[in-house]
Amino acid sequence: MAQTTVDELKKLAQKETIVFGSNEVLRKLKRGQIKKIFLASNVPADIEEDIRHNAGIAKVEIEVVGMPNDEFGMVFKRVHPVLTMGIAK
Domain of residue 63, CATH code: 3.30.1330.30
Looking at residue 62, its pLDDT comes to 96
pLDDT in tens, 26-57: 999 999 999 999 999 999 999 999 999 999 99
Examine the pLDDT at 1 and tell me if it is beyond 70: no
Report pTM.
Answer: 0.90
What's the number of domains the chain is made of?
1
- Per-residue pLDDT at 5 exceeds 90: no
In a domain, 1, yes or no: no
Q: Is residue 29 part of a domain?
A: yes
Q: Is residue 70 part of a domain?
A: yes
Distance of alpha carbon 78 from its chain centroid, rounded?
14
Write out the DSSP string of the chain: -PPPPHHHHHHHHHHS-EEESHHHHHHHHHTT-EEEEEE-TT--HHHHHHHHHHHHHHT-EEEE-SS-HHHHHHHTT-SS--SEEEEE-
User: Containing domain of residue 63, as a range?
Assistant: 6-88
**57 belongs to a structural domain:** yes
CA atoms of 86 and 72, how far apart (whole Å):
13
